[in-house]
Chain A
Amino acid sequence: APPEWDWRKKGAVTEVKDQGMCGSCWAFSVTGNVEGQWFLNRGTLLSLSEQELLDCDKVDKACLGGLPSNAYTAIEKLGGLETEDDYSYQGHVQACSFSAQMAKVYINDSVELSQNEQKLAAWLAQKGPISVAINAFGMQFYRHGIAHPLRPLCSPWLIDHAVLLVGYGNRSNIPFWAIKNSWGSDWGEEGYYYLHRGSGACGVNTMASSAVVN
């Protein structure tokens, strides 16, 4: 892996979104990943619809939570994702109104990634932003800087929030992951969370995955 990488500087990441009062982080994590994959494979950055997943992914539970692995399958079965503009976010479940004719992107497959953070960094730099899930300990009060909670307080076994790795690097010799969150740009560092890299902090390496666009 290169010593640092940031997909935001390369135009692969859309603006920070806000899931509102709804546990739909899984949908934002997956659309963020697909946005990056589409950009890297097709050259166009499109903001994609989380509401489509809330309404039409019947395996997951909309605002009550979901799993990225199910969401990839749903996108494949539905026939793609509409854009944010065409199927805008409401923050609560509605009847599915997806139209295959309106789909602007598709995915062909999805893969699980290594739990080795060095390999994750290498994958990210070469292939694009990664969907991950973490233990959200402390994030309710996070303002800025690199979070590195004690492991017993931020157990990898208590994963409860899905987010998107968009880059990594070092600040004052502290290695970090740059993480796009979905709580709006008025949270954290303009919507981003910085978490210690290399120690499996908060289980960041335990549920890494990506869509595949051919």
Chain B
Amino acid sequence: APVPFKPRAAGARAWEPSSPELLAPARFALDEYNRGRAAGSRAVLGTVRGRVRRTAQGSLYSLEATLEEPPCKDPLVCLLPVSKKTMLCTFEILNELGKHILLRRDCGPVDTKVTDNRNESVSSFLPQLNSDPLQQDFSMKITSVFKDFVATYNRTYESEEEAQWRLSVFARNMVRAQKIQALDRGTAQYGVTKFSDLTEEEFHTIYLNPLLREEPSKKMRLAKSLTDP
């Protein structure tokens, strides 16, 4: 399960910025991380920082690195260029007689939670929308998908402002659906549904049943066990 990443205690010394000495153990850590993965599905190294301790056995490297997972390729669920997943990892690597040994690896996704905010528009949600061609492409795609959604489910909105707000909710929901997809262990596909223009809070309030968890259920008689026919 993804957990908020907390680097292990780094001791008294602060993490050093990336230096040439860290690159070899960082590349080794990346190779270990990608072990068994096919070409095209391997993560790439982002930023690296760390520190080194000289010991009797050799050099002990403590690294903190970001690794970029390759973007999702399923066109049904991977509309977003922002879908690229960043992992934040700590590695402990011992270099003994020129040979690297991985002692510890601890990785977790960087928290990219998107918060609901009525004042957000698609462009504020994706701040580089106007400058980044990928983001412009995404904006066009998501707008097109939203138009299909509106037509499919006969959505009407009271004003242009409301429609823009729903578009931004829709875009955020596509990111949420993609995260749910990434964390599902079954074969389920998540994506656009008739509820895709609702915030999480709206969906819970309108369609779900909070009493099921808030009120103790009346004690019912237990069913008799089935007997072998």
Which residues of A does B touch, CB under 8 Å?
Answer: 19, 21-23, 25-26, 60-61, 64-67, 69-70, 72-73, 109-114, 119, 122-123, 126-127, 133, 136-138, 140-153, 157-162, 171-172, 174, 183-184, 186-187, 194, 196, 207, 209-210
Interface of B is mostly: loop
Q: B212 near A112 (CB under 8 angstroms)?
A: no
Give the bracket for the number of chain B residues in contact with chain A: 35 or more
Which of A70, A111, A171 meets B223, CB within 8 Å? A111
Q: B212 near A141 (CB under 8 angstroms)?
A: no
Q: B212 near A145 (CB under 8 angstroms)?
A: no
- Interface assignment of B97: CB less than 8 Å from any CB of chain A: no
Tell me the complex Cα distance, A149–B198, Å: 21
Residues from chain B with a CB closer than 8 A to the CB of A147 are: 184, 186, 188
Interface of A is mostly: mixed
Of B35-43, B108-116, B213-221, the stretch lying at the interface with chain A is B213-221
Q: B193 near A142 (CB under 8 angstroms)?
A: yes
**Besides the known contacts A112-B220, A112-B223, A147-B184, 5 further A-B residue pairs in the complex with CB atoms under 8 A apart:** A111-B221, A141-B193, A148-B185, A160-B204, A186-B153
Q: B218 near A141 (CB under 8 angstroms)?
A: no
B217 to chain A, nearest CB (A): 5
Determine which residue in A137, A140, A162 has the highest number of CB atoms from chain B within 10 A of its CB, and name it.
A140
- Interface assignment of B9: CB less than 8 Å from any CB of chain A: no
Tell me the complex Cα distance, A184–B152, Å: 14
- Interface assignment of B206: CB less than 8 Å from any CB of chain A: yes
Tell me the complex Cα distance, A196–B210, Å: 23
Q: B217 near A69 (CB under 8 angstroms)?
A: yes
Tell me the complex Cα distance, A94–B91, Å: 63
5 A-B contacts (beta carbon < 8 Å) = A65-B209, A65-B210, A126-B226, A140-B195, A158-B213
Which residues of B does A touch, CB under 8 Å?
Answer: 1, 153, 173, 176-177, 180, 183-196, 198, 200, 203-213, 215, 217-223, 225-226, 229
A29 to chain B, nearest CB (A): 9
Residues from chain A with a CB closer than 8 A to the CB of B212 are: 26, 65, 67, 133, 159-162, 207
B210 nearest in chain A by CB position: A65
A197 to chain B, nearest CB (A): 10
Residues from chain A with a CB closer than 8 A to the CB of B153 are: 186
Residues from chain A with a CB closer than 8 A to the CB of B180 are: 137-138, 141, 149, 153
Tell me the complex Cα distance, A27–B229, Å: 32
Tell me the complex Cα distance, A136–B180, Å: 12
Q: B186 near A112 (CB under 8 angstroms)?
A: no
Q: A146 near B187 (CB under 8 angstroms)?
A: yes
